[in-house]
Structure 1
Amino acid sequence: MSTSLFTPIQFGGLTLNNRIVMPPMTRSRAKNGCANAMMAEYYAQRAEAGLIIAEGTQISQLGQGYAWTPGIYSPEQIQGWKLVTDAVHAKGGKIFAQLWHVGRVTHPSNTGGVQPISSSEQAAKGVKVFIDEEDQPNFVDTVLPRAMTHDDIEHVKGEYYQAALNALEAGFDGVELHAANGYLVNQFIDSEANLRDDEYGGSTENRLRFLGEVVDQLVSVVGKERVGVRLAPFTCLNGTVDSDPEATYIEAAKLLNSKGIGYIHIAEVDWDDAPDTPISFKQNLRQAFDQTIILAGKYNPEKAQQALEQGFADMVAFGRPFVANPDLVTRIKNQYPLAEHNPDTLFGGAEQGLTDYPVYSEA
């Protein structure tokens, strides 16, 4: 019998009811940096997903890139996330925390006035972030970061370790490392963003060193099978570019395979007119990584089923469709039409555009 989106899957001692993933999507509803009851309702509405990966969650104030995103470094933030995990578990769902440090993709307005840090003293040119300006979002340019010292690297690794402990205390079933989309870990991986000449820069092996060391911190807390890593080999988002992404990210997959982690989550290019991820990359990724592979980006149910049948994916993430379709799994299963989200309510605000999308009714 062929694998379908509705075939259960097991990893890390978890049994997931289906292979449909709700991926991390920033919604900026945490005005005080804490997850809240409104967010708990939002995630619980979508708990029929086989796996929910919660929105990017900063591991420190210096790791925050945008206004109103949640953190996981204070007791109040842990309590906020407990509301979310309890609500999801009450509906029978499974939820991982995505641990996030943005590195240079920020502004001092979001970091408590502190200069951002990165692999190198190099700005994310042409990249804007939004800040809270008298309770209104204002888009501003990022600023020049300072290159991380070895002490900085050790300190941030410790923050990831503590964030993983906090995630378990908050009731998450596992953690995902955000190593994609131009944020801090990605700033070490991609050759054009990493200008270092020490053991963290230069060769592919060196540029992957920080990734591997952070993963080791997470594994030591959560256990290898409950750790996932999100990568974005071809997106070039937020100014990170690699000279040979296919080679670099296959080496990353081999490194992560050696760590025995539960899954790799590939964020594919998903904007209009973007080229598809090379088939050669998906084939080589499958050979390089033995555990679960999640693919995300421009997937509809038919394309997702094809990815499963081809063996390129074990699970498929549907981002934007989950925004307007809290019952997305039911809609896919019954071939009900999908609702369209309102782009004006994606970021900031309150319940409108977050928890007020209805489930499908034949009436």
Structure 2
Amino acid sequence: MNILFNKPFIYLLILAVIAVTTPKIVEARGAVAVATTVVTGVAIAVGAVITGGAAVAGFLIAGGAATGFTAGTIAATVIGGLVGLVAGSAIASVIDPHVVGCWLDHHVSKQYADKDCEEEGGIPVVTPSTSGFTINLSANQTCASTGNPVNLNIQYSDINQVTKASINRDGKVIASNLTPPPTTYTDLNLPLQSKYVYQVLAELTDGSGAASNVLELGICSPAIDFKASSPVELPDPIILSWATENADSLMASGDWSGPKQAGTYPYKTEQIYKPRGNYTFTLTATGPGGTASETRNVRVIQVPRCSFTANPTTIILPQFSTLSWSCQYADTCSIDQGIGSVNNISGTKDVRPTKTTTYTLTCDGLDGSRSYQATVNVGFTPKLREVIPR
């Protein structure tokens, strides 16, 4: 190690740092110059140590040390130093001072000091305005998702002071040199990621610039709109309806199972026939923003289902009408107007009311009772009286 890290080698290293960084410092400004000096110096040192060490090792292996330790040390220092400096300079030559400085400005100092960064492909920055100019950035939604646009709202304290504006998402320009400056912007085709960070940058008429607040939108979690009919009366089916957002897949569990179709409106529907009882239906949606579940409880009940009619519905005395009924799920049945208990499955009954009358069939079942009505209208025969003219 003493062969490599000695005073001659260190002197050469310092001279190389000065020689390589001087043109970059002249080219850059402010924080960019500082950043370039630090990064370039580190690059030269690392390159010099690695390649210089390799050169020293090669020299000694080739027999340089055999000519004497002092001579070998000097020769190894010169060879290792020159090789290391050439490698370090090559590494430093590819460093872009604008990109380095812009990155530090944005991520470390949070200042916007070099508007050339946008032209260099880095994060667009502007010289802060001292006039109190402000930009407020907001969105119509609280989260974002792929396949759906993000609608941004931009408010300037004085739009007449703005010559042009740029919009960046996640540190990259997505719209630049917008003239006139926009008050709204729609960002389409979002990439799949966990969050989206927006900022608006403006150049003002006095040559300064302004930056909006940083707006961060997390990715939207899946959402499920799930509906189920309840209670359901036998023999009707259970009707399940659903629609999803921000979901790639949808699974059913509980008293149904398997994959279901994910997607936005209109509703997807499914009919399921179940016997009397209580049932639970669950949907679980999975998407880039996580998972979400919705559960619906459905009760299937057994109550009487009857048809009840009068035929004919209108009579003229002494005619009669026949009441007819047919029932399912009825345990007991009765008809009012003095008729009383009747067969709980089906039957007929002749009636001859003296005036228009409504009959009510009431049946009881396991989960409640139901009533049905039929009306018999009673007409009359006109009476004729002979009138003898005078």
Q: Is TM more than 0.5 here?
A: no
Rg larger in 1 or in 2? Answer: 2
TM-score by length of 1: 0.17
TM-score by length of 2: 0.16
Q: Higher helix fraction: Structure 1 or Structure 2?
A: 1
